[in-house]
């Protein structure tokens, strides 16, 4: 053969060169993926911040129209737990007027914050439970959170479209049925702006929490940090100052809830329009993303709403803290490491003390 490889100039590239290029591209993509995840989480967090802002503005609009904030209970059914949350009243201000109008509050229903067995109307409740309460409201869901059990997924029935935001009941170790609530919003009373004597810029109005894991109802095992663990009422009674539980007392209740739960709740964070804590309210008795599971009192006669005492701190999957909106409408990111008393004072609308740095 006269033609030799040497004489011919080569075009193209070898297999090795191709592999090297592919390897370099792979490394570059590998560097990019975590950055994309970070940007996604940052966008989710911003969207969460915006949700809280909308809720605060809606609450102010309601106050402008009614000179009062709503209570976190409007009984419509004949049973006292057949009640709507404060979120129901602000639906028209978050562009959910159609959902708002689909619910009829019966004329014989008690006033906001009042519960009377036998008042209300059975049909009004079942229409709301199967209609408005089962409508997904985008403003009520944090995109970083994991969705809770959908309607029909949980055998106790208290499941729904998802709820990651609640109103602040204050710093007391009570979840529901607390007549002495010191929070911006109460279950049993319609507060006015003037009741927030610490100042709206020093008091938390609303914050975020996580949805339940849909673990087996009441028997568990529950999943931290998503589910609520019942510790019994007795320990809460033994807390010296119910408004400001100490770190040691919280530790005692948290450890009892985790290690000897009387039962668990895993259909929390599902129904934004249902009145109970863990669905539409929380408290600031313990720090955000508390290292022990969120705790209830006596377990389970009716699922998730019968208990009075409870420690239901705000929680999120954002790293290192939670978003809250203060009474003046400013959204703050509160770190998990916040001083306990500072956080309790932020939740308490009328403790009379400056909260300190946060």
Partner 1 sequence: MSKVISWLAMGLALTVAGCAAKPKSVAVATGEVTIDGEAVDGGIISFIDAATDQPAAGAAVTGGRYIIYPESQLPPGDYKIEIRWSKSTGERLKEPVYGHSPFVFAEAIPARYNSESELKVELLEGANEVNFRLGK
Residues found near partner 1 in the complex (CB under 8 A): 80, 115, 176-177, 179, 231-235, 237-240, 246-253, 255-256, 259-260, 291, 298, 305-309
Q: Decide whether 108 or 238 has the Cβ nearer to partner 1.
A: 238
Strand partners, 274: 84
Q: Decide whether 83 or 316 has the Cβ nearer to partner 1.
A: 83
Q: What is the DSSP letter of 48?
A: H
Nearest alpha carbon to residue 93 among 66, 112, 126, 131: 66
Residue 256 Cα to chain centre, angstroms: 23
Q: Decide whether 37 or 246 has the Cβ nearer to partner 1.
A: 246
Containing H/E element for 201?
none
Give the integer Cα–Cα distance in Å for 350 and 196: 6
Q: Decide whether 159 or 249 has the Cβ nearer to partner 1.
A: 249
Q: Decide whether 105 or 340 has the Cβ nearer to partner 1.
A: 340
Distance of closest approach, residue 187 Cβ to partner 1, in angstroms = 10
Tokens of 276: 């109970």
Place of tokens 């607390």: 178
Contacts of 127 (CB under 8 A, 6+ apart): 102, 103, 104
Distance of closest approach, residue 150 Cβ to partner 1, in angstroms = 27
Give the integer Cα–Cα distance in Å for 129 and 90: 18
């Amino acid at each position: 053969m006269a033609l030799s490889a040497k004489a011919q100039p080569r075009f193209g590239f070898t297999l090795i060169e191709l592999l090297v290029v592919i390897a370099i591209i792979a490394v570059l993509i590998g560097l990019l993926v975590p950055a994309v995840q970070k940007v996604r989480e940052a966008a989710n967090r911003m969207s969460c911040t915006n949700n809280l802002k909308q809720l605060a503005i809606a609450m102010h609009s309601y106050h402008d129209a009614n000179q009062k904030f709503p209570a976190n209970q409007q009984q419509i059914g004949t049973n006292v737990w057949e009640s709507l949350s404060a979120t129901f009243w602000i639906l028209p201000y978050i562009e959910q007027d159609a959902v708002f109008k689909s619910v009829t509050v019966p004329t014989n229903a008690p006033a906001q914050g009042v519960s009377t067995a036998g008042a209300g109307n059975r049909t009004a409740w079942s229409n709301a439970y199967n209609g408005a309460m089962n409508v997904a409201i985008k403003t009520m869901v944090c995109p970083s959170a994991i969705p809770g059990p959908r309607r029909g997924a949980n055998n106790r029935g208290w499941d729904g479209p998802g709820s990651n935001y609640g109103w602040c009941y204050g710093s007391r170790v009570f979840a529901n049925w607390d007549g002495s609530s010191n929070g911006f919003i109460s279950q049993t009373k319609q507060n006015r702006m003037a009741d927030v004597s610490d100042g709206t810029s020093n008091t938390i109005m609303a914050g975020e929490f996580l949805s339940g894991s849909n673990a087996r109802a009441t028997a568990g095992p529950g999943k931290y940090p998503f589910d609520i663990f019942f510790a019994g009422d007795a320990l809460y009674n033994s807390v010296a100052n119910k408004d400001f539980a100490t770190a040691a007392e919280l530790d005692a209740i948290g450890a009892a809830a985790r290690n000897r739960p009387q039962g668990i709740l895993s259909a929390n964070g599902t129904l934004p329009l249902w009145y109970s804590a863990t669905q539409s309210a929380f408290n600031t008795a313990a720090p955000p993303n508390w290292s022990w599971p969120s705790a209830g009192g006596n377990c389970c006669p009716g699922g998730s709403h019968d208990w009075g005492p409870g420690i239901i701190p705000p929680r999120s999957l954002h790293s290192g803290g939670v978003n809250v909106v203060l009474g003046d409408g400013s959204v703050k990111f509160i770190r998990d490491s916040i001083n306990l008393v500072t956080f309790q004072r932020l939740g308490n609308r009328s403790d009379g003390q400056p909260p300190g740095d946060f």
